[in-house]
Amino acid sequence: MISFIRLGKKRLTLRQSLDRTHLMVSLTAVCLVGGLLTAMAMLSLRFYTDHNLDLVARAIGYTTEAAVVFQDGEAAREALQNIASHEDVAEVSIVLASGKLLAYWSRPASLPWFALERQLAELVLPGPIELPMIHNGHEVARIKLVGHGQYLLSFLVQVLAAMLVCMLLSTLGALYIARLMQRSITTPLRSLAQVAHGVSRERSLKLRVPEASITELDTLGQDFNSLLDELEAWQAHQERENASLLHLATHDNLTELPNRALFEARLQQAVNNGRARAERFSLLYLDCDNFKQINDNLGHGTGDEVLVAIARRVQHQLRPQDLVARLGGDEFVVLLSPISADRDVVDIINRIGKAMAEPIALADDSRLDCTLSIGAAHFPTDGDSAEALLQHADHAMYLAKRQGKAQRARESEVHTPKEESR
Main-chain phi, psi angles of 358, to 5 degrees: -80, 135
What pLDDT sits at residue 10? 67
Counting the structural domains of the chain, the total is: 3
Whether residues 33 and 100 share a domain: the answer is yes
Whether residue 190 lies inside any domain: the answer is no
Whether residues 378 and 277 share a domain: the answer is yes
Among the candidates 172, 190, 224, a domain finishes at 172
pTM above 0.95, yes or no: no
Whether residues 111 and 228 share a domain: the answer is no
The CATH number of residue 80's host domain is: 3.30.450
What pLDDT sits at residue 116? 61
Instruction: Specify whether the backbone of 383 is left (phi greater than 0), alpha (psi in -120 to 50) or beta.
Output: left
**Which residues carry out catalysis?**
330
Whether residue 5 lies inside any domain: the answer is no
Among the candidates 250, 283, 316, a domain finishes at 250
Give the Cα separation of 268 and 278 in Å (integer).
14
Main-chain phi, psi angles of 138, to 5 degrees: -120, 145
Asked if 122 contacts 110 with a C-beta cutoff of 8 angstroms, the reply is no
Among the candidates 250, 278, 303, a domain finishes at 250
Whether residues 301 and 237 share a domain: the answer is no
Domain housing 240: 205-250
Whether residue 192 lies inside any domain: the answer is no
What pLDDT sits at residue 312? 96
Mean pLDDT by 10 residues, the chain (422 residues): 47 70 74 75 69 80 84 85 78 86 79 60 67 85 77 69 78 73 75 85 85 84 89 88 89 94 94 92 94 91 94 95 94 93 92 93 91 94 93 94 72 49 36
Helix axis angle, 150-181 to 114-124, nearest 10°: 80
Whether residues 318 and 339 share a domain: the answer is yes
3-state secondary structure of 112: coil
Closest CA to 147 of 77, 68, 45: 45
What pLDDT sits at residue 162? 78
Whether residues 35 and 82 share a domain: the answer is yes
The CATH number of residue 267's host domain is: 3.30.70.270
Whether residues 158 and 22 share a domain: the answer is yes
Whether residue 372 lies inside any domain: the answer is yes
Give the Cα separation of 291 and 307 in Å (integer).
9
Whether residues 228 and 104 share a domain: the answer is no
Whether residues 58 and 162 share a domain: the answer is yes
Give the Cα separation of 112 and 122 in Å (integer).
17
Whether residue 408 lies inside any domain: the answer is yes
Main-chain phi, psi angles of 99, to 5 degrees: 95, 0
Whether residues 129 and 244 share a domain: the answer is no
∠ CA 96-102-103, nearest 5°, is 130
Asked if 94 contacts 82 with a C-beta cutoff of 8 angstroms, the reply is no
